[in-house]
Amino acid sequence: MWRSRSPRFWLLIVPLAAACAAGAVILLDPGNGDDSAGPGTGAEPTPPQAPGAAGGPAGDGRRPRAVAPDEERRAIHAVRAYVGAVDDRDGGRVCSMLAPGAIQSFRLPREGGGCAASLSRSIGYRDPRGYPVFASARIDSIGNVAIVGDDARVTATVVTEFADREQPSIEDDLIYLALVDGEWKVARPSAVLYRAVGRPEVPLEAVAPPR
């Protein structure tokens, strides 16, 4: 048989029912209506990190050092001095512009007497197979200059003239540099030096970054 409840009973049961209802709402909607945040967190999703943000180019872990205001100018000066030495056929100057070991695996048509003598005799070499004979080289313009740590890459448009050809060769030469005792040195022979010693084909290793 139904019996009337006291006012005190209703004062206790109504707040309890309200609390249970609120708990049910929390369980049914844990993400505050945003499914993208994941179950039960209510937080904004973490944006993906951009490639390379953790280090140097392509995320290789290297961080660019602070570049002095004149560092780019010094790198360009080194490239101009290198091409100028090739144009003058001055093997000694070319060798002085090379980093240690840069020419170790570079085959020269006339070797002997060390780096300076070998280069001086090889620049302008006339290959009996009829390859173009180097006459001169000059920089037409400087393009991109990239400096990361103790390494640099300079893109120079080089005009190469040949003694037995009417048309010059105009190409973008990628010249890699390394900082040696505070001076920028050519890390490996570039296209202009290959042309100068009568080698018409420039290998891929000449344009790939040094390891």
User: What is the per-residue pLDDT across 82-140, written as a single tens digit (0 to 9) for each?
Assistant: 999 999 999 999 999 999 999 988 999 999 889 999 999 999 999 999 999 999 999 99
Higher pLDDT, 32 or 198: 198
**Dihedral angle computed from the Cα positions of residues 55, 58, 60 and 65, in that order, rounded to the nearest 10 degrees:** -50
pLDDT at position 209 is 84
Mean per-residue pLDDT for 58-70? 55
Phi, psi of 183 (to 5 degrees): -120, 140
**Dihedral angle computed from the Cα positions of residues 129, 132, 133 and 135, in that order, rounded to the nearest 10 degrees:** 180
Q: In the β-sheet with 151-162, what is the strand arrangement from edge to edge?
A: 134-148, 151-162, 169-180, 183-186
**For 41, what's the count of Cα atoms within 13 Å in the CB-facing half-sphere?**
9
Mean per-residue pLDDT for 133-158? 96
Asked if the 71-206 domain carries CATH number 3.10.450.100, the reply is yes
pLDDT at position 128 is 94
How far is the C-alpha of 2 from the C-alpha of 6, rounded, in Å?
A: 13
**Which of 169, 137, 175 has the alpha carbon at shortest distance from 156?**
175
Domain residue ranges in the chain: 71-206
CA angle 43, 46, 51 (to 5 degrees): 175
**Distance (Å) of CA 44 to CA 30, 32, 38:** 14, 12, 9
What does the DSSP 8-state code read for residue 103? T
Split at pLDDT 50, 70, 90, the class of 37 is very low
What does the DSSP 8-state code read for residue 163? T
**For 96, what's the count of Cα atoms within 13 Å in the CB-facing half-sphere?**
8
